[in-house]
Structure 1
């Protein structure tokens, strides 16, 4: 018996130093850098796993709003992470030449190809690399080149209208609208990247399961990104990557995205070669992203390598379709939830149409597969003030990204919203919090009201300017979404073009829709019925 007691005592003695180490570690986590002065969930001050679990639930945008309402403008969401909820923090954190870098979260979103890590504009943490890569490809995304892509967008839009009518008008079939819009957005990305419509709308399905693959990649990155060392250990460790490069280890799941982009690039190169042989001419000036990337490669082949071009194309697949699809779905959702707004926007579109100011795009945009070619020109759509207010308010209420855009403070520390934050601290803003700020957007910031953006409705110009400066839909600073102009063009053209031709209503008004946050916040269960309008459109 005494021997048994000695064994038990020995076990307890071993637990004492382990417990002491754990207590010291947790105390360090809680009190490091003096960040304990900032309020937040208690567990969040002890471990990153608090936010890992929260992100796992796919509802982090709601959590961020709730904790900022409870704790104020600065909330500690991890031992070394502060979330800032006031719009003034945007310029402090994301302004030019502030000395911040991206956090380790973004490393997780770097793709792999045969064991090689491929960084793109989104995933790289190096400001020097980002600046050089952006300079190399910036001309492909510049506002001055935007209209070059419009015929490609028009072709996809015309065909989308045609397929919408074939599949959902008069068929008694409900349209899963969020998915249908995403199919459209993927086809547009294919068209403007490789001059190849990918077939999502034609087949009404996920081609090559690429949407499911992207979703899986984002689900993984969003959760594991809360503890990036997990990715470094299990996915991107040097030994595993070496084996993968030799074909001795199964390819990482995100390789499928790279392979999809590579296949499109191969098809594009083959078409270009065939065209050159038939026409006996040199390659003509780029009219899609890939061609423009290749033109840039000729100027600096040692930097803009084939892998980096593939990385750019892969990032367009991941981000270019999701953000636009989410924005389009948000506009239609809020229109259906607010009949008064829907009716007023419809009146504006009809009045402009009757006045002859809704110019369609040029004949060159006529769809080769039989589309009507009656897509409203971007310049014409931009002149509709209520449309602009509706889209901007939808961006405000439902930003595409639902997590912090994380940055690391410079070694010397930084002042954010008047607060000194020590160096090496991860900080950031969440658009779902910023866009609900009552001081900037008014006491009814949680209400969908497009009129807040209209001077004709009494909006103060100075307040309007401040509201626009506080919009965080596309990020801010040098890391602003490079595809912003393309996304805006798609959105401003699609909404009035679609509403000129069709009427939309919820298929099951009582059915509960929900949001899924895996970095991008998607709306689910968004089923609608679609019918032709009695007036307008070419029925």
Structure 2
């Protein structure tokens, strides 16, 4: 009876009803659990579409930095999203046993195999699953494992240096340096994961178009991750995944296929390791990550299945190449844009060789242990990490249901909170008033106490239990290649007056970084 009276009214006045519903929805967003007290872009309080479109504009890191500089330490990025700019928030949000979980931003980046999601260490939101997974593979990425990986990185680096000389230094051709460095990073991942280079450097091309796919996928994941329900309508539509499981769709996730193809070539060896474990005598070349993952399956068969092994290999492709290439490009770019720093670093390298501090190898390569003896090199790398961290969005966490205090602010349960490295790395009270300038000396001039604060604020690898597990591998690549490349070649910007372009696809990659090289004659 009531329905018969209400329904005609709804039909007659539907524009008014719809308008009222929309207004009610927007006002509910604005005042959601009292978050209206936090400032930000005015649209952010009403809808996540503002965040989506700003991320789609590929400069979201600068937007977030501007908002924090205008409004202070806590900025509202969405109806239930807060960004924290105070470095002291790192321990609260990302510390151990805080009850925080990852948001739905991360599953958007999950690979798919046969219609099923592959949960990696990075993309899973299940903290229990993550803890079990990390225990299985943690030793493979420990600092102590670097001694086993250095021969693999060294082999690829030597090929990269030789190919740079043949393709660019001897010919005088221009090099798309950011792409060339990503070729190097991908081949390192191939050597580290499967004990074979994948052909990017030898062929000077994007093998199987995987880099192109990765770029497009991350460009999708960044904005879509601001409104994750869109992923359920697009890439991970349940009907689409069901069709793959039933064999009605032959669509294969390219990164998954790429990892499977390279892993299948080692199927017999991996089966032996899973059954009997790694031999006690290690190959002098080093033990690759696929072997370590298989060893983890031997040690933890109840958890580490073939799916987890595949997920681990897939993660190496997703994160291992992109972030390292970005970091390498940053170091070289900032040195080239600051000739004083470039010369000072070269003076340090030449002095170290002349005085026997580092070994003078025929191909000019520098070992990991020797790179640790070069304080100005370390300062330049740390400053590059500070100026251009790979991740350009906040690392999202969900406040537990009971809510929690974050630096004197009671944040209600269910709120998404996080920090952005681009904001943290430009805090004047930590790094000095000249935070927008590249000045490596800040890392040398700082007192021990201040240096400790600076290092605690660095967020390029994340923080807490979810710190990037491949951090040490990435550092190994950076600290070996930068001094080796600089000793071997003189580098020039093709157009010194032009700034590079950046593209925030979640990771802030560089574009149009064109350089030329000349063989370098080391002064006596």
Shift in Å at residue 417 of structure 1? 1.9
Provide the residue aligned with 2:4 in structure 1: none
**What is aligned with 2:421?**
431
Q: CA deviation at 1:460?
A: 2.0
**C-alpha distance 223-462 of structure 1, shift in aligned 2 (>3 A):** same
> Is 1:94–2:90 an aligned residue pair?
no
Select 2:263's aligned residue among 262, 265, 273. 265
Following the alignment from structure 1 to structure 2, what is the Cα–Cα distance between the partners of residues 64 and 113? 35
For 2:469, what is the secondary structure of its paired residue? Answer: coil
Cα contact 2:172–2:517 (8 A) shared by 1: no
The one of 383, 389, 397 equivalent to 1:399 is 389
Give the superposition deviation at 1:58: 1.0
CA 1:116/1:373 → structure 2, altered by over 3 Å: closer, same or farther? farther
Q: Residue 38 of structure 1 contacts residue 74 of structure 1 at CA under 8 Å; is this kept in 2? A: yes
Equivalent pair of 2:353/2:360 in contact (CA under 8 Å):
no
Contact 2:364 / 2:488 at 8 angstroms: preserved in 1? no
2:322 aligned partner: 322
Between the aligned partners of 2:330 and 2:431, the Cα distance in structure 1 is 19
* Whole-angstrom CA distance in 1 between matches of 2:246 and 2:320: 32
**Which residue of 418, 435, 447 corresponds with 2:408?**
418
Note the alpha carbon deviations across 1:218-262, whole angstroms, 9 max, x for none: 11111111111111233334433221112212426xx11000000
Structure 1's 297 and 271: CA in aligned 2 closer, same or farther, altered over 3 A?
closer
Report the alpha carbon displacement of residue 534 of structure 1 after superposing the two structures with TM: 1.9
* Native 8 Å contact 2:391 2:460 kept in 1: yes
Gap regions ≥5 residues in structure 2: 1-8
Q: TM-score, normalised by structure 2?
A: 0.94
> Contact conserved, 2:402 with 2:412, CA < 8 A, in 1?
yes
User: Which shows bigger deviation, 95-104 or 296-305?
Assistant: 296-305
The secondary structure found in structure 2 opposite 1:424 is: coil
Counterpart of 1:472 (choices 459, 464, 483) is 459
**2:336–2:492 Cα contact (<8 Å) kept:** yes
Q: 1:283 to 1:200 in 2, by over 3 A?
A: farther
Q: 1:437 to 1:511 in 2, by over 3 A?
A: same
Compared CA separation, residues 10 and 33, structure 1 to 2 (3 A): closer
Local SS of the residue matching 2:402:
coil
CA root-mean-square deviation: 2.0
Please say if 1:164 is aligned against 2:164.
Answer: yes
Identify the residue that residue 31 of structure 1 maps to in structure 2.
31
Residue in 2 aligned with 1:188?
A: 188
The CA deviation at 1:323 is: 0.9
- 8 Å contact kept, 1:29–1:47: yes
**Partner of residue 380, structure 1:** 370
Pair 1:483 & 2:481 matched: no
1:236 corresponds to 2:223: no
* Aligned position for 2:440: 450
Measure how far apart 1:42 and its partner are. 1.0
Cα offset, 1:170, TM superposition: 3.0
1:256 to 254, 257, 274: 254
How many angstroms apart in 2 are the aligned matches of 1:501 and 1:314? 33
Provide the rounded CA distance (Å) in 2 between the counterparts of 1:274 and 1:13: 72
How many angstroms apart in 1 are the aligned matches of 2:424 and 2:121?
Answer: 24
| Partners of 1:259 and 1:269 in 2: CA distance | 15
Q: TM-score, normalised by structure 1?
A: 0.91
Residue aligning to 2:132: 132
Contact 1:178 1:329 (8 Å CA) reproduced: yes
> Structure 1 residues 256 and 10, CA, compared in 2 at 3 Å: closer, same or farther?
closer
Conservation of the 8 A alpha-carbon contact between 2:218 and 2:506: yes
CA contact (8 A) 1:440 1:463 kept: yes
Deviation, structure 1 residue 12: 7.2
Indicate the residue corresponding to 2:290 in structure 1: 290
Taking a change above 3 Å as real, the CA distance of residues 148 and 373 of structure 1, as seen in their structure-2 partners, is farther
Question: Secondary structure at the residue paired with 1:522?
Answer: strand
**Matching residue of 2:179:** 179
Alpha-carbon separation, structure 1, partners of 2:447 and 2:272: 58
The corresponding residue for 1:45 is 45
Task: Determine helix, strand or coil for the equivalent of 1:415.
Answer: strand
SS in 2 for 1:104: coil
Q: Does 1:524 align with 2:514?
A: no
Deviation at 1:418, TM superposition (A): 1.7
Question: Would the alpha carbon gap of residues 282 and 170 (structure 1) be closer, same or farther in structure 2, given more than 3 Å must change?
Answer: closer
Residue ranges of structure 1 left out of the alignment (5+ in a row): 1-8, 276-280, 362-371
Residue-by-residue CA offset, 1:305-354 (whole Å, 9 max, x unaligned): 11111111011101001111111110000001111100000000000011
* Residue 247 (str. 1) matches residue 247 (str. 2): yes
Q: CA–CA distance in 2 between the matches of 1:318 and 1:215?
A: 10
**1:494-532: CA deviation from partner (whole Å, max 9, x where unpaired):** 111111111101011133421111011111110011001
Moved over 3 A (4+): 9-12, 270-275, 281-286
SS at match of 1:450: coil
Residue 463 of structure 1 and its aligned partner are, at CA, apart by: 1.2
Q: Give the 3 Å change call, closer, same or farther, for CA 34–209 of structure 1 in structure 2.
A: same
Give me the whole-angstrom Cα distance separating, in 2, the residues matched to 1:444 and 1:248.
59
- 1:62-141 pair list within 5 angstroms: 62-141=62-141
Residue-by-residue CA offset, 1:441-469 (whole Å, 9 max, x unaligned) = 11111111111111xx3x22211111111
- CA shift for structure 1 position 271: 7.0
* CA distance in 2: counterparts of 1:391 and 1:30, whole angstroms: 42
Cα shift at 1:299: 2.1
Q: Whole-Å Cα distance in 1 between the matches of residues 37 and 507 of structure 2?
A: 31
